[in-house]
């Protein structure tokens, strides 16, 4: 052919050679990594569970009671779960901060929000396992009323509370981990933020743990928990990226 | 006069007890503002001292900066440094001249 | 220029405060139940409202900081949160005094405002230690902004939760602020206005002072011939990158 011909298609814009990996694939990969690490090292879950059971024993001696019910039982359960959760929160990002996990993640061509979702789901998983140990232990050691009838609504309330602890715990953990007093700041930041969870959770569970007929918890507490989860889930999701840049 | 008649009908706490609490509350507000004024006064004296030093510095070494001395707000700086009142201030030598 | 308008603001604050105090003690009628003790209402409730709005405002300013990365927004957020914390302490103390006068106890759990403020105080008391624990100024500002936004969103959430939890206990000790009779409502509004002006004046005062010190530092560095940024000791206060708008434009074109 004579002459110079225009190319058959216009030149394509140069794109980066790698496509960004999808969000959920990243979350899946991160989650798998977290759970594998936990299974191999067993850093958080045994500690949290042991702490919960030991705390129940301490409560027995502190309150000088063989069994508790109602408000007292609900309060003891929630406080213990919360403090055990804080142990998990403290450890959540420590490996990433100390061994360059943040940098590796930032270099990868992935959606950054994936780290928040993955870490929050990890913490949620830890909390579920914690409760699998702590709630039967509580029923065995301290609870004066039968657990069976209370169990369905108790699990619902715990699930809502766990969601809230997971999102706020992840955000606070990321904030605290790269400061100088990370073990101290984490709980200090987290505990006031957890107060609405305690309010909603303890008030909801208290009527379940009494001898008389077990009703469902009042809807307002479940709504409070749900609203908290929604609001802070969105906020933590939006703000998490700002903590990662460096 | 109106106040006297109003106060005469006060139920609940007798005035001399209630009055103390009300006074206490308003004194708290007043004290907070005054503490703030005191903190600002300390800062102001520190600023005055710094300015005096800078004045003497600029008078004694006119060639120290490329653009010569300037008492106006600096035009270009890289980063501003900022001291909280809680941090240690650098131990400066005695100020030589004070502004009249 | 942070100091512009400071004089006008201060005068307005002084006038408003005088007016408000006069109204409280010479105009507002005595309340039927609590008598003279109720006058604390005119200082306690405005302090509470302004502190809460201040905390939320600190969150909004922090959003601006994260959006524009201009450290001056972080400075404003820091000052507003600091001042709101002081107003919150004032709320707690005046509320406690009121509780002692009404019920004989220095603390009552049945007053949701006091309880909410205790929780909020405990939360914002960690703001300064958080800042102090991060040395890099840019990261400090960023993390502080994330905290300010989270905490700012927490304030209303906390209020709802605490109010729900105390609603079914005792009736409100310190009385509600709704259906105030005319003269009381006027006095309350003037007090609210006066304390808001006080808040604004003190914040502006603080910002001007910080800015002045930053200018002094920069001047000192210029005069002593340094060109590199000095090493600051660790501080919880935000650093002002002191660049005037003209200079920033010049720098932008030069770089």
| Position B42 in a domain | yes
Can you read off the two tokens belonging to residue A46? Answer: 């045994």
| Position B80 in a domain | no
> Region B71-80: what's the mean pLDDT?
43
| Position B19 in a domain | no
Mutate to test the interface with B, among C90, C97, C204, C226 (most CBs of B within 10 A): C97
| Residue of chain C minimizing CA distance to B22 | C40
Res. C51: pLDDT tops 80: yes
> Region C58-80: what's the mean pLDDT?
94
Mutate to test the interface with C, among A192, A199, A238, A243 (most CBs of C within 10 A): A192
Can you read off the two tokens belonging to residue B77? Answer: 């700086």
Q: C235 and B64 in contact by Cβ < 8 A?
A: no
3-state helix, strand, coil in chain A (%, to 5): 75, 0, 25
Res. A39: pLDDT tops 70: yes
Res. A50: pLDDT tops 90: yes
Q: C234 and B9 in contact by Cβ < 8 A?
A: no
> Region C100-112: what's the mean pLDDT?
85
pLDDT band per the 50, 70, 90 thresholds, residue A149: confident
Q: B13 and C47 in contact by Cβ < 8 A?
A: no
| Position B69 in a domain | no
Q: What is the pLDDT of residue B3?
A: 58
Alpha helices in B10-96 (DSSP H): 15-60
Task: Give tens-digit pLDDT for A185-203.
Answer: 999 999 999 999 999 999 9
| Residue C168 Cα, gap to closest chain B Cα (Å) | 25
Q: What is the pLDDT of residue B67?
A: 46
CA neighbor of A222 nearest in space, from A157, A167, A173: A157
Length of chain A: 246
Burial zone of C199 (CB within 10 Å; 0-12 exposed, 13-18 middle, 19+ buried): buried
Res. C101: pLDDT tops 80: yes
Can you read off the two tokens belonging to residue A103? Answer: 């940098």
The residue ranking higher by pLDDT, A19 or C157, is: C157
A199 at the C interface (CB within 8 A)? yes
Q: B74 and C224 in contact by Cβ < 8 A?
A: no
Chain B neighbors of C229, CB-CB under 8 A:
78-79, 81
Percent of chain A with pLDDT over 90: 50
| Residue of chain B minimizing CA distance to C211 | B82
Mutate to test the interface with C, among A74, A97, A199 (most CBs of C within 10 A): A199
Can you read off the two tokens belonging to residue C125? Answer: 């008391």
Q: C220 and B50 in contact by Cβ < 8 A?
A: yes
Res. A7: pLDDT tops 60: no
- DSSP letter at C168? T
Averaged confidence pLDDT in chain B: 65
Task: Give tens-digit pLDDT for A212-239.
Answer: 766 788 888 999 999 999 999 999 999 9
The tally of domains found in chain B comes to: 1
Please report how many Cα atoms fall inside a 13 Å half-sphere around the Cα of residue A176, on the Cβ side.
25
Are C232 and C140 a contacting pair, CB within 8 Å? no
- Rounded to 5°, angle at Cα A239 from A47 and C52: 95
| Residue of chain C minimizing CA distance to A172 | C147
Are A128 and A48 a contacting pair, CB within 8 Å? no
> Region B57-72: what's the mean pLDDT?
57
Burial zone of C10 (CB within 10 Å; 0-12 exposed, 13-18 middle, 19+ buried): middle
Q: Which residue has the tokens 């309060």?
A: A75
Give the C-alpha separation, A200 to C161, whole Å.
7
List the domain range (segments joined by +) for residue B48. Answer: 31-59
| Position B81 in a domain | no
Res. B14: pLDDT tops 70: no
| Residue of chain C minimizing CA distance to A196 | C161
Q: What is the pLDDT of residue B1?
A: 61
pLDDT band per the 50, 70, 90 thresholds, residue A20: low
Q: B87 and C221 in contact by Cβ < 8 A?
A: no
Res. B84: pLDDT tops 50: no
| Position B50 in a domain | yes
Give the C-alpha separation, B37 to B57, whole Å.
30
**What is the pTM assigned to this prediction?**
0.81
ipTM metric: 0.83
Domain ranges of chain A: 23-244
């Amino acid at each position: 052919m004579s002459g110079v011909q225009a190319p058959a298609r216009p030149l394509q814009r140069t794109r980066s050679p790698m496509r960004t990996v999808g969000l959920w694939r990243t979350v899946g990969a991160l989650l798998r990594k977290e759970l594998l690490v936990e299974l191999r090292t067993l850093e958080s879950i045994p500690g949290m569970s042991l702490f919960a059971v030991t705390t129940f024993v301490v409560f027995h001696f502190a309150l000088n009671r063989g069994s508790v019910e109602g408000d007292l039982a609900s309060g003891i359960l929630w406080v213990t779960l919360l403090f055990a959760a804080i142990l998990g929160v403290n450890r959540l990002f420590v490996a990433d901060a100390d061994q360059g996990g943040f940098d590796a993640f930032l270099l990868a061509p992935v959606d950054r929000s994936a780290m928040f979702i993955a870490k929050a789901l990890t913490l949620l998983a830890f909390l579920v396992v914690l409760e699998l140990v702590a709630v039967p232990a509580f029923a065995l050691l301290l609870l004066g009323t039968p657990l069976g009838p209370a169990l369905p609504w108790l699990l619902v309330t715990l699930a809502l509370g766990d969601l809230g602890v997971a999102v706020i715990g992840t955000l606070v953990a990321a904030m605290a981990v790269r400061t100088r007093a990370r073990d101290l700041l984490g709980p200090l930041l987290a505990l006031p933020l957890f107060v609405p969870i305690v309010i909603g959770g303890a008030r909801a569970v208290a009527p379940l743990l009494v001898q008389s007929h077990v009703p469902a918890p009042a809807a307002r507490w479940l709504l409070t928990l749900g609203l908290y989860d929604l609001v802070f889930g969105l906020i933590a999701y939006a703000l998490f990226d700002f903590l990662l840049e460096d | 006069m109106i106040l006297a008649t109003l106060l005469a009908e006060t139920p609940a706490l007798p005035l001399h007890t209630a009055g103390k609490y009300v006074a206490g509350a308003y004194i708290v507000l007043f004290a907070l503002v005054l503490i703030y004024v005191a903190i600002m006064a300390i800062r102001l004296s520190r600023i005055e001292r710094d300015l005096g030093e800078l004045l003497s510095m600029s008078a004694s070494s006119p060639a120290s900066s490329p653009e010569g001395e300037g008492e106006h707000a600096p035009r270009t700086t890289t980063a501003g440094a900022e001291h909280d009142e809680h941090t240690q201030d650098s131990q400066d030598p005695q100020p030589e001249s004070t502004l009249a | 220029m942070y100091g512009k308008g400071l004089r006008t603001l201060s005068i307005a604050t002084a006038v408003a405060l005088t007016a408000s105090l006069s109204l409280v003690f010479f105009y507002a009628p005595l309340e039927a139940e609590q008598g003279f003790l109720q006058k604390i209402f005119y200082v306690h409730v405005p302090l509470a409202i302004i502190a809460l709005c201040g905390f939320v405002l600190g969150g909004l300013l922090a959003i601006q900081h994260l959006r524009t990365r201009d450290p001056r927004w972080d400075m404003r957020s820091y000052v507003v949160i600091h001042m709101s914390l002081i107003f919150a302490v004032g709320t707690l103390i005046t509320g406690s005094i009121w509780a002692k006068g009404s019920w004989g106890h220095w603390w009552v759990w049945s007053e949701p405002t006091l309880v909410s403020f205790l929780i909020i105080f405990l939360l914002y008391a960690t703001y300064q230690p958080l800042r102090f624990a991060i040395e890099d100024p840019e990261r400090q500002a960023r993390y502080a902004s994330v905290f300010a936004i989270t905490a700012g969103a927490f304030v209303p959430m906390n209020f709802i939760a605490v109010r729900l939890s105390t609603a079914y206990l005792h009736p409100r000790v310190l009385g509600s602020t709704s259906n105030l009779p005319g003269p009381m409502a006027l006095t309350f509004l003037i007090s609210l206005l006066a304390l808001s002006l006080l808040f604004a004046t003190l914040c502006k005062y603080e910002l001007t002072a910080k800015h002045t010190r930053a200018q002094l530092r920069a001047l000192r560095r210029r005069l002593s011939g340094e060109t590199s940024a000095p090493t600051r000791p660790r501080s919880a206060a935000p650093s002002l990158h002191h660049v005037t708008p003209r200079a920033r434009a010049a720098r932008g074109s030069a770089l």
